[in-house]
A = this chain, B = another copy of it.
Amino acid sequence: MAVAQESLIRPSKSGKKNSSEEVIHQQISDAILEQRLAPGTKLTEESLSEIFGASRTVIRRALTRLNYENIVEIRPNRGAIVASPSTAQARQIFEARQIIEEAVLRACVQKHSESDVAVLKNLVQAEKDCIARNDRIAWIRLTGDFHLEIARISGNEVITKFLKELISQTSLIIALYGKAGGSLCSNDDHSEIVKAISEHDEQKAVTLMLAHLDECIASLNMEEKAETQDLKSIFSGE
């Protein structure tokens, strides 16, 4: 059985039928984004059925949705696995983030309210708390929420949806290519960005944001993992 019961947690009453597609989708998504399910893990419909006490039909719907969100890969006749973006895709995803986040940040600097800044400051504080108590999982989530909040403030839901997708995929990328020990991005880039926003300094905010995202890519080691495991070249002594 590919999926261990423990890694999907929270079956609520340990009973059945608490779970609709919505809930199941969320649970699997969380498990992936919090890196309890590693990229490449097989997601068997039957196993998930038992774990969530739902019929395969419902599981299937949840998996297709995760597939559309590029969090899960469905290979025809061969089932679903947790997606593992290639280095090329990873680069494109970060590139896309820079494009979208620059635009979204400019709008945010323009039209943010007092309370928007307050929300952002709270998020940054929460991030610091996580780092303090070494809660990597909560921190990863919050770091995403921070970027997403800026998009929300910008007011364009279409773009926000795109960014949300990109941020999810970033979690996968970090799971795959993040340096093991590295407490990456732990410095407070985020607070500086909030400062620039609250001072209405658009150019500074953008510069900081782009540099921040560049740092993120730089903190990954995307060279080591081969595109496709080419055993020949590995053993040919090169």
Contacts and interface: CB of A to CB of B under 8 A. Distances in A.
A159 B103 contact: no
A95 B156 contact: yes
Contacts of A168: none
A14 interface: no
A166 B3 CA distance: 36
A77 B83 CA distance: 31
Interface string A64-86: 11001000000000000000000
A65 B61 CA distance: 11
What interface size band does chain A fall in?
10 to 19
A96 B162 contact: yes
**Is chain A's interface secondary structure helix, strand, loop, or mixed overall?**
helix
Given A64-B64, A99-B103, A100-B99, A92 B158 contact: yes
Nearest to A154: B95
Nearest to A156: B92
A217 interface: no
Interface in A151-166: 156-159, 162, 166
A5 interface: no
A92 B158 CA distance: 6
B100 A158 contact: no
A95 B64 contact: no
A89 interface: yes
A93 interface: yes
Interface in A112-160: 156-159
A96 B64 contact: no
**7 interchain residue pairs of minimum CB distance:** A99-B103, A68-B68, A92-B158, A96-B158, A92-B156, A96-B159, A162-B162
14 contacts: A68-B68, A89-B157, A92-B156, A92-B157, A95-B156, A95-B158, A96-B156, A96-B158, A96-B159, A99-B99, A99-B159, A100-B100, A158-B166, A162-B162
Given A68-B68, A99-B100, 12 more contacts: A61-B64, A65-B68, A89-B157, A92-B156, A92-B157, A93-B158, A95-B159, A96-B156, A96-B158, A96-B159, A96-B162, A99-B103
